[in-house]
Amino acid sequence: MTGARAQGITLGMLIYKIFRTDEWQALRRDGTTSGAPVDLADGYIHFSTATQAAETAAKHFAGQDGLMLIAVEAEALGEALAWEPSRGGALFPHLYRDLRLEDVHWAQPLPLADGVHQFPPGLE
């Protein structure tokens, strides 16, 4: 994991998923999800690190309100989590199994203010 550590990937780190309200409600109701439509199309659930989350929100959720930010402990996902190159060669976490409600470390609204998503302290 030496190359991964150079990109800030560490044991015990949290990774993040942005869900629309209906996707979050479905996970809470069903206890499991295969992800958003883009995840279904790609065959894995897209996550971001703390340093990638704001850019992910701006690129894929621009102007969208009613979002939830979900935090998951990367290490707890085991071998189903792969770190793969994406934007600019940066390694992104991809989950190759359903996400279970029990995987969620915490979840909170991701409000939109003046067209910008407001991330919790430490994630801007």
Structural domain spans, the chain: 2-113
- The SS3 call for residue 101 is helix
Token digits for 112? 């939109």
pLDDT in tens, 69-124: 999 999 999 999 999 998 788 899 999 999 999 999 999 999 999 999 999 987 75
Predicted local distance difference test score (pLDDT) of residue 124: 53
* Pick from 6, 7, 15: nearest CA to 69: 15
Q: Regarding beta strands 67-73 and 104-110, do their DSSP bridges make them parallel or antiparallel, or are they unpaired?
A: antiparallel
Cβ count within 10 A of residue 116: 14
Q: Give tens-digit pLDDT for 22-54.
A: 999 999 999 999 999 999 999 999 999 999 999
Distance CA 8, CA 51 (A): 9
Confidence (pTM)? 0.88
Which two tokens mark 39? Answer: 């995840």
Q: Which helix (H) or strand (E) holds 55?
A: helix 50-60
Q: Tell me how many degrees the CA angle 58-60-66 measures, rounded to the nearest 5.
A: 80
Tokens 């994991």, located at residue: 1
* The pLDDT of residue 10 is above 90: no
Helix, strand or coil for residue 22? helix
CB 4 within 8 A of CB 84: no
Whether domain 2-113 has CATH 3.40.50.720 = no
